[in-house]
Amino acid sequence: MATSSASQARLAWSLLAAGGAVVAVALGAAHYMEVHGHVVTGMNNQVVWGLPHVFAIFLIVAASGALNVASIGSVFGEKAYKPFAPLSVLLTVALLAGGLMVLVLDLGRPERLVVAATHYNFRSIFAWNMILYNGLFALCAVYLWTLAERRFAAAAKPAGLAAFAWRIILTTGTGSIFGFLVARQAYASGVIAPLFIALSLAWGLAVFQLAQAGFARLSGSAMDAALQARVRRLLGIFLVAALYFVVVHHLTNLYWARQAALERFLLVDGAPYPAVFWLGYVVAGTVVPVALVFHPKLAGPRATNAAAALAVLGALAFLYVFIIGGQAFPLEIFPGYEASSSFGDGRVDRYSPSLPELLLGLGGLAAAFVIALAGARALPILPRDEGPVAPAPKPAA
């Protein structure tokens, strides 16, 4: 037992070091971007948000959804999920921190973060989001405390309810960053807020599944088969729900004559976006994982993990098309005219991401990984610590 514990500790430290190394490389990439300016990225004056935002939005949206399991336990009273609630809350904190790290380090002036904290424009949904992100950190800390400290067990339900409500509002806010862009054909839509909530449920649960499977290997405490089956089905349902909102969004655009060219670009001939959308998001990110979780012959932890991993890849594919494809298509400033200029009017932008951008984005994932792993080692997070089996006997010393 002692050897196994020591080898687990060694493995955990190695993983932490590896994650830390990726974060360090990402910080180096961000420093390079800051010294040379964004000219070393693929971003420009037309595609102003690039690959870092794909990773950042993924992490932030998944963060909100990672609270699923805790909510099902605390808010909806499903006892079976409760042992996994602390891990669910920890993942929310880790993913959110990773996403915000990428978002902040991509700023033109990241050193002015204090300005963002002291100057608020309350008409800006972006400013509201900053409050919502910080509020979620605070609520998660309180919630985690109520879950870990038995004296506060009675407060876990209200704390869980508050965190649940907060993250629904938060993801509405994240979706509305795009939904409120009235001038942008690819975004201006109220359906983006519920779409983001559906996406968050799917992506967050996918990340939770992968994390819980990973920690089970590290700590030797696996989720029981009945609960695993419920998580698996839930993942499938969430993926289908998200696809439904994606379809509604595109159908709405297709119905408007002036959006037809944009939809054609995104779905048919605007390479590489249609391929990334259909193969990356629809097939690999939705159809295959849904088949994996619902096919009776495939039921098993391996299929579930594969489905979750595919859902994460599909998430990145979806956001690549949504964020970058949506900007690459030219703004329609002169309806009824064909426009051209030295500033890219009327022309599709050819964005190609650069290495520093990619490294920064991967650094966000690594930061989330490091925080989750360190948190699980330092705090009573995993079911073994909090589990229903029996309190650990005091060693005789």
The contact set with another protein (CB under 8 A) reads 5, 9, 34, 36-39, 43-46, 48-49, 107-110, 112-113, 115-116, 119-121, 123-127, 130, 177, 180-184, 327, 331, 333-334, 336-345, 349, 374, 377-379, 385, 392, 394-395
Question: Whole-number minimum distance, CB 382 to another protein, in Å?
Answer: 10
Question: Whole-number minimum distance, CB 52 to another protein, in Å?
Answer: 11
Question: Whole-number minimum distance, CB 48 to another protein, in Å?
Answer: 4
Question: Whole-number minimum distance, CB 394 to another protein, in Å?
Answer: 7
| Residue/partner pairs of 341-348 with CB below 8 Å, 24 or more apart | 343/45, 344/45, 344/46, 348/265, 348/270
User: CB-wise, 19 or 285, nearer to another protein?
Assistant: 19
User: CB-wise, 7 or 340, nearer to another protein?
Assistant: 340
Question: Whole-number minimum distance, CB 38 to another protein, in Å?
Answer: 5
User: CB-wise, 147 or 312, nearer to another protein?
Assistant: 147
Whose tokens are 């920890």? That residue is: 90
Measured over the CA atoms of residue 283, residue 52, residue 325 and residue 59, the dihedral's sign is: positive
Whose tokens are 């792993």? That residue is: 373
Question: Whole-number minimum distance, CB 182 to another protein, in Å?
Answer: 6
Q: Residues near 259 by Cβ (< 8 Å), separated by ≥ 6?
A: 185, 253
User: CB-wise, 285 or 344, nearer to another protein?
Assistant: 344
Q: Determine the Cα–Cα distance for residues 219 and 381; give it in Å rounded to an integer.
A: 11
User: CB-wise, 125 or 317, nearer to another protein?
Assistant: 125
User: CB-wise, 130 or 161, nearer to another protein?
Assistant: 130
Q: Element (H or E) spanning 113, and its range?
A: helix 113-118
Answer for the pair 363, 97: CB distance below 8 angstroms, yes or no.
Answer: no
Answer for the pair 360, 29: CB distance below 8 angstroms, yes or no.
Answer: yes
Answer for the pair 135, 100: CB distance below 8 angstroms, yes or no.
Answer: no
